Structure 1
Amino acid sequence: MTYKVAVVGATGVVGREMLNILHERKFPVSEVVALASRRSVGRDVMFGDKHIKVKALDEYDFRGTDIALFSAGGATSKEWAPRAAAQGAIVIDNSSFWRMDPDVPLVVPEVNPDALAGYTKKGIIANPNCSTAQLVVALKPLHDRAKITRAVVATYQSVSGAGNEGVTELERQTKQILVNDPVVREKFTKQIAFNVIPHIDVFMDDGYTKEEWKMTAETRKILDPKIKLTATCVRVPVFIGHSEAVHLEFENPISAEEAREILSTAPGVQVLDRREDAGYITPLECAGDYNTFVSRIREDFTVENGLAMWIVSDNLRKGAALNAVQIAEALAARHLKKQAA
C-alpha cells in the first residue's frame, strides 16, 4: 500500500530533512507534495534525485492526502492542522501547539507506540520537542527496569534547533569575529558565536524557560506522569546535534554496568562508552545518524540508586524529522493497513 504525503514547511531545515528521510527510509509514497507559504511558491526542494515545486499551503486541498507532516511553526499548525484533518489527512505535527492537548497523542515510537491509537480523536499526532525525544528514548528501557523517580538535565542545544535563522546567525557571527568586524545579533538574545546562552524560548513566571517546561511536561506525558524532572536548557555554538548531561534517581537499585547492558540492546539507542580519551560521542559525530547515542554512563554516588550519563542525537533527525517519519511508519503498519483490509 502506498500513501500520498504532504510536507508542510518543506523549505525549512526540518521540512527538508523530512523529505530526505522519507526517501532514505523508502517510505511507501505514491506522491509527495511540498507545501509552504506563498513567498516560497515555485521554489525547488529535493526528494531523492527529484525536484519538487513548492505549492502554497493556503491554496492546497488536503482531500486525497493520506498523511501530512507539519513543520511550519505553532501558528500554522493551530490554523491548518485541524483543516487538513477535517479533509481526511492524518496530521503529524512537529510544533509545540498540540503536544499537551489531551486528545492528541504525543508519540516517540520506541517509547509509547500504543498511544498512536488516540489519533482518531482529532486526526492529529504530535511530535515531541527535540530535546525530549532523545531523552525519553534513552530513559524508557531504564525506567522499565528500575523506575526513574527524578531526573536532572542540562542540555547543550545546537543552533539548528532555532531554524534557518539560527544557523545563519552562527555562520555570520563567526565570520565577523574572525575578520574583526562588528558582531550583529538578530536571532539570539546574546552573541552565540564562541559563547553559550542559558536561554531557549520565553521565560515563565517561575523562572524556567518554556523549553525547560516542555521537557518536563512532555516527558511526563510520554513516559510517566510521576517522574520529577528539572532542566536547564542552553544554546551552544554547534550547528547540528543536541547533547544532554543527565542525572537520574531510581526507585530500585541499578548499576552502571547493568544500565550499559540494557541500553546496548534498546531500540534507537547506541552505546559508545569507553573510559578512555575519545571513548564517548560528541554532536559532531552524531550528525546525520538516526540513533540516540549514550556515553559516560556512571553511578552517581551523591544519591541512592543514582546514575549519570551523556546523551547525544541529531536534533534535525531523531529530534524532529526522523521521529515524524517513524510515527508515519508506525501509523501505516499498525492502523492504516488494518483500515485498508
Structure 2
Amino acid sequence: MTAATTPTAPGKTALITGITGQDGSYLTELLLAKGYTVHGIVRHASSLIANTSRLESVYQDPHDSERRLFLHKGDLTDAGMMVNLVRDVRPDEIYNLAAQSHVRVSFDLPEYTANVTALGAIRLLEAVRASGIDTRIYQASTSEMFGTAAPPQDESTPFHPRSPYGVAKVYAHWATVNYRESYGMFAVNGISFNHESPRRGETFVTRKITRAVARIAAGLEQKVFLGNMDAVRDWGYAPEYVEAMWLMLQHDEPVDYVLATGRPATVSDFAEAAFGHAGLDWRDHVEHDARYERPAEVPELIGDPAKIEREIGWKARVHWDELARIMVDADRKAL
C-alpha cells in the first residue's frame, strides 16, 4: 500500500470547501479511505443532485448511522454560516478548495471572483480564529499568481498575476500567511500548477480538447475552437495533487510548497498527444478563435517542485502526455 491509500487517521474530521469540484471529490475519496469523517460545503443555489455528480463513487445513504460523509448547504460569501459550521463541526483539518477558478471567466466576473476567491478565504480564516478551534488549514493557491514571472517558478518567485483570478488568489495566499504569523495558526498554501483529470470542468482547455477528441473520433463533430495554442503549462494529475495537500497538513511545521511536475508542454503539444492517442491529426480538427484568448496572457508557467520533493517526499508521477491519454480514454468511454 502507498501512503495515499493506507488508512492512517481513524477518528479525524475534515471540512472541505469546494467538495463537489475536481479536487474536492478526489480529496474526499482519499480522506474517507484513510478513515476520516468528511464534511463538505455545497452551494445552496445549486441542484444538490446535479452538483454532487463527482461524489457518486463515495455516496453514502443519509439514513446510514455509520456514514462518514456529510454535505452542508452554504457558501463562502456567507460569513455567519462559516462561523457556525466551523464551530459545530470542529474539524481537525480544513481544505479551502472553493473558488471561481476559471481564469477567462474572471475577466467577465471580476467582483464575483474577488468575493468568493479572495474574501472567501478571509471569512474562513476568521471563522477559525473566532471559533478558537485547533485545526490545520490548507489554502489552495495557484500558479496563476506568478503570471509573467520568469520560469521555472518556485516558492521564492515574486508574484505578478495577470487576471482577476490570479489577483484574488494572491490576496488569499497572503491572508493565509498573515493569519499564520499573527495568530499562530497551522495554515499553509499549496501553490498548485495546472492539474487535470477526467473530472476537470468541460470549459477548461485540457478537458475541452479530450472531449472533442472523443466526439470527433465518434463522428459527432469535426472541429474544436481554442485560444492561445502557444501557452506553456505544467500539467499534472489531480489525484496525485490532493495527496500532496493531505501530506502538507501532516507535516510537523506549516510550510508553503509549490506543487508541480516540472515538465512543461504547450497547448498544441497537449492537443497533439490527445488527438494522436485516437489516431487523429490535431491540425485537421483544431481552429483558432480569438474569443478564447485572455486580455492579458500568461506565456509560461513551469513549476519547480524541488522543495516539496526534498522535505515531504511527494513527487508527481503522471506527466502531461500520459495525462492526455488518461483523459481521452475516459471521455471516449463516457461517450
For normalisation by structure 2, the TM-score amounts to: 0.42
- Give TM-score scaled by structure 1 length: 0.42
